[in-house]
Structures are given as C-alpha cells and as structure tokens.
Amino acid sequence: MDGLQERRRYYVVAGIVILLSVIWLARLFFIQVIKTNYKDRAESNALRQITMHPDRGLIYDRNDSLLVYNEAAYDLMLVPNELRAFDTNDLCRILDIDKQEVERRIEKARKYSPLLPSVFAQQISKEDYGYLQEKLVRLNGFFVQNRTLRSYPVPVAAHILGYVGEVNQDMIDKDSYYQMGDYIGISGIEKAYEQELRGEKGQRIVLVDVNNRERGSYENGAHDHPPVAGTPLWSSLDMRLQQFAERQLEGYSGSVVAIEPATGEILCIVSSPSYDPNLLVGRARGKNYMELQNDTKKKPLFNRALSAMYPPGSTFKLANALIGLQEGIITPATTYHCAKGYRVGSLTVGCHHAGSPDLYGAIQTSCNGYFCKLFYNIVSNRKKYKNIQEAYTAWRNYIMSLGFAQKFESDLPYETRGIIPSADYFDKQYRGQWNGNTIVSMGIGQGEVAVTPLQMANFLAIIANRGYYIKPHVIRAIGSKDNINERYTEKIYCNIDEKYFTPVIEGMERVMKSGTGWRSDIKGIRVAGKTGTAQNPHGRDHSVFAAFAPVDKPQIAVFVLVENAGFGATVAAPVATSVIEYYLKDENRKKELEEELERKISAR
C-alpha cells in the first residue's frame, strides 16, 4: 500500500513538473515567435536600425552646368523607450528651442511609436552636428542619421526648379515609400520628377552599448543594404540665359519665356519678382517661406509665367490673321480702311494708324481698325455658318488648336488654363443678343481674352514651325545627357495650313525692319516680331512683345510681358531681343550684352 502511494505521489509530482515545463516552453515560444515585441524590445537595447537616405538626383542645365546638388546635413532621431533622464540645456542651446518644445517633441515621438525611431530635429548643420556629437554619450535614446539638403550654386529659376518639404500623413498614406520625417518634392521639377529624383533608401544595423555609443555593424553588415542615389536630370534651361533674362526684369514685375521651337524645350522661364531658392532649404525654410508668402505686394512665390493670366494685346492679332487666311475671309492683299480706329456705335477702338493697309501693313503698324474688322468678319461669316454662335465656336476651335484655353500638362506643375469664353458664355451674358461688334475687342487681344506667358511663347513656336508645336517642357534628358526625354516628342498640329504662315511671318519681319519694333531690331539676325500693349483696368498698361529668330531656321521663340510698363516697343521689345541676341551670338557679344545690362540696371 505504501509503495502504491509513493508511486502515485511520484506521478503527481512528475505531472506537475511536466505541466509547468510545457507551460514555460509554450510561453517562451509565444514571446519569442508569436509575439515579437518582447524580442524587439530586447534587440532595440543592443541593435539600432538606421535608415540611410539616398542623395536626390542632381539637376543640370542643357550645357552641363550644375543647377541643383546636395549638401550633407543630419537628423537627430529619438527612440522614446530608450530615453533616460538628461540635462536639456545643451540640447536646447544647440537646437535653438526651449524646454517646452523638447517635451512636445518627445510626446510626439511616443505617440508615433515608443519602440521605433522618429525625427526629433531635422536638417542639423555640420557645425551644430559637431557640438551635438559630443553630447550624445549622455543622451540615451537619441542618435543621428545622415541626411542631404538641396543646394543651388547659382540662385536662379526658383519657380521652375521648385523645392522639397516634409511629407504629411496624406502623402504617407498614398505611398508606402515615405515615413514621417521624409522629404518630397513640393513644386517645380522637384515635384514633377519626384519618382526619378528620390532614389531608394538603404538600411544599416549597428550594435549600441549602454552609453548609447555605436560599436560597429551587426553581423558584419550582413543585413545592411546601401541607398541608391536618385537619377540625375538634364534640364532644357540655359543657366546663363536664365540669369541674363532674370536680370533684365530686375525691378519689374512680369515674365520672360523662351522656347526652342523644334523641340519644345524651354530655354529660360522667368517670373519676376523671384527669390533665392536657397531660402527654402534647411531649418529656416518654414520661417523664410512665411515671409515670402506674406509679401503681398511683390508676391515672389507666384509663378507669373505659368499661373498669371493677362490680355495678350496686339500680339493676339497674329492668331486672327492666321484664322482669317484659313477661313478665306482675307488674302494677304486684302485691305481694310482704318480712320484711326474702329467705331462700334458710340464707342471707338482707337488706333494710331490711318489708311488702308493690306495684311502685311496691318501687322507692321499694328492697325487696330484692320483687325477689329477682320475679327468681325470671321465671326459674322454667314456664307459658311448659320449664326454667330456657330461662327464664333469655329473661331474658338482654331484658337484652342493654337494652344490657348488649355493646359499643356507636361512637366510644369500649376499651369493656368487661360480664358477663351464659349458661345454659351456670351449667350448667358447677353441673353442671346450679341454679335461680332459686341465682342470685337477680342480681335485685338482685349476684352474676355486671357492667356499665360507660356501659352504665348508656345504660340510663337507654332508660327516659327509653320503649324505645329511639341509640348513645352523643362527636362530634356533623364539618367544621362543622351537619354532624351521621350515623353515630349510628339508634334501637335494646329488647324491652320502651313502656307498661311508665310505672309504672317513676312508681316512680323516688317515690324522689326520699319514697323512698331524697329528700334529693337538685331543687326545680322532676321527677327520676326510683334509688339503689344495690353490694357490694364487696374493701372498702367502692360508692355508686351513676341518674337522668334532666325526667321529661316528658328532656334528661339520668346514672349515678354512687363506689368505696368506701357508700350510694348519701349520695355518688352528691348528685353526680348536682348534675350534672343544673347542666345544666338558668340561669347564676345554675350559679354558686351552683360555689360550693357549692368549699366542699364544701374541707371534705373
């Protein structure tokens, strides 16, 4: 009996031991395999995963001059669960923040994740990093990871190059590549080519001792992988031409856009006033951005070349000349009498010219009377169209085929569509009671017409090409200089036959030889130009000029608008022809033009 009881006790004790062993092993399996946060906590005390941010792709101009490169900077990272008590004074001094801000950032990091690192302070300079590195041994939970900042060796083309900024939660939700604290292209080329420029992140795992000091790679770097730098881009911009054009508008508000007609590549694109793109880099970016944004008088952040809409003035007469020829309303020899203007009831559209010019002479002298009558006849063509609505819609379709009232949707973010109203708009506006005289001012680029400088430059490229354009764009090659950007090679034809461009171009040449733009003609270069004065209901008229050259083999088409500067021939024309000459002439003449510009600016 005693032996039986002893065996029973033995089995009970053995069963308890086995049961406890099973429970212990199951718990160990759960902790180490199923629920990994315990493992993560243990490893985080000895291992640190560091994200290695790639260099963003470099941006060059068309001649290999560097427009945007990268400089070293540093982010201070924090793992909240590793945080220990520390003296905040040094940290506050180095980062230029107060203790309340330190506490706020620690709490923000805890909410993001107590175990994962998050950015505590961004874009620390090399100088501040030197001081900070000495303190890290007493800042458990903090470490530094490398970062790069964009830098601009020549402070030009700020609106087009764009800038980078920190991602928000919406951006993170849309693309899993990004994490809190990452940077993304916000505007310009940086935004349009974010996928190419951003590169691929790398990772490094390091051993860390109890004093928060790195002690080398984990398993000799077996789990590390390096970052892959972003793809370099070659812009279509000519940096020196861009500088020259920006200096031309110094002290003015306005825009210069120059396009290579055969390719659609933008050679320079200026919005003035502008700003130094280096202002929107680093820890001062937020402060500088607010100062620029709050400058409501100059509006330096506003891209006038892409987003501003203006009446094109007399430069728009070229479009109506082409449509009149295509529709058979006129021939080059057609004359209209102008008695110093065009009378509409009691209203007269004034003109400085009197006589009966043909098309060549009307372009040469910029005759308002001629083009008012031409426009009226186009939209009143009862031989071909049954009413004003149908004739006007046909005219509008021609205008849209010339690149107006639409976005090009290339690599230029934040374009404005412009305004060419539909027939329905005028039906509502005038309750169906309207005719060619009601809207006759559109024939000379006034009234309801509104265009962007980019659209006008593209229109000049269409004339230079005798009937087609390639979408204007600012990146010509991706990855290598010879790898041409295939997105923009398609020729887009307008609804005007090639033969009708010849008389219009001849009229534009006359503008430069003996017409309204003669003072700005360029010796040795055949230039086709057109002056314009755009009425401004809010102040002095805008000065406008459009041109391309050389006429026989066009290499550059330019549109210039200078706000509140008066006649096109006085301000915009000299700017445009200087840009053309600078681009086409040899180096000696370029230096002469630069010196002339310096004298001109000094005299302002």
d(CA 457, CA 415): 14
Lowest mean pLDDT of 35-39, 163-167, 450-454, name the range.
35-39
28 by Cβ neighbours in 10 Å (0-12 / 13-18 / 19+) ranks as exposed
The pLDDT confidence band at residue 434, using thresholds 50, 70 and 90, is very high
| pLDDT value of position 413 | 84
Query: Do residues 312 and 457 touch, judged by C-beta distance below 8 A?
Result: no
d(CA 491, CA 484): 16
Query: Do residues 243 and 156 touch, judged by C-beta distance below 8 A?
Result: yes
The pLDDT confidence band at residue 86, using thresholds 50, 70 and 90, is confident
DSSP track, 219-255: GGGTT-B--BPPPPEEES--HHHHHHHHHHTTTS-EE
Taken in order 172, 177, 183, 189, is the CA torsion positive or negative?
negative
CATH class of 48-232: alpha beta
Mean pLDDT of the chain: 90
116 by Cβ neighbours in 10 Å (0-12 / 13-18 / 19+) ranks as middle
User: Which residue(s) pair with 344 in the sheet?
Assistant: 347
Whether omega before 273 lies within 30 degrees of 0, making that bond cis, reads yes
Domain with CATH 3.90.1310.10 in the chain: 48-232
What length is written for the chain?
A: 604
User: pTM of the entire structure?
Assistant: 0.87
Q: What are the pLDDT digits (tens) for 212-268?
A: 566 777 777 777 889 999 999 999 999 999 999 999 999 999 999 999 999 999 999
Cβ atoms within 10 Å, residue 350: 9
Q: What are the pLDDT digits (tens) for 362-405?
A: 999 999 999 999 999 999 999 999 999 999 999 999 999 999 99
Query: Do residues 459 and 427 touch, judged by C-beta distance below 8 A?
Result: no
Query: Do residues 252 and 245 touch, judged by C-beta distance below 8 A?
Result: no
Domain with CATH 3.40.710.10 in the chain: 239-282+304-603
472-492: average pLDDT: 95
Q: What percent of the chain has pLDDT over 90?
A: 68
Distances in Å between the Cα of 114 and the Cα atoms of 51, 91, 120, 212, 505 are 17, 21, 13, 17, 70
182-209: average pLDDT: 91
Q: Which position has the higher pLDDT, 536 or 522? A: 522
Q: What are the pLDDT digits (tens) for 291-315?
A: 999 999 999 999 999 999 999 999 9
Q: What are the pLDDT digits (tens) for 91-129?
A: 888 888 899 999 999 999 998 888 878 889 888 877 788
d(CA 533, CA 146): 54
Q: What are the pLDDT digits (tens) for 542-579?
A: 999 999 999 999 999 999 999 999 899 999 999 999 99
Q: What are the pLDDT digits (tens) for 332-369?
A: 999 999 988 888 765 678 888 888 999 999 999 999 99
| pLDDT value of position 34 | 57
DSSP track, 22-35: HHHHHHHHIIIII-
Helix axis angle, 453-464 relative to 317-326, nearest 10°? 40
CATH class of 239-282+304-603: alpha beta
Q: Which position has the higher pLDDT, 42 or 54? A: 54
| pLDDT value of position 40 | 47
| pLDDT value of position 482 | 92
161-185: average pLDDT: 91
DSSP track, 434-497: --TTTTGGGGGT-TT-BB-HHHHHHHHHHHHTTSEE---BSEEEESSTTSB-TTS---EE-SS-
DSSP track, 15-62: HHHHHHHHHHHHHHHIIIII-THHHHHHHHTTEEEEEEPPPPPPEE-T
| pLDDT value of position 38 | 45
| pLDDT value of position 347 | 67
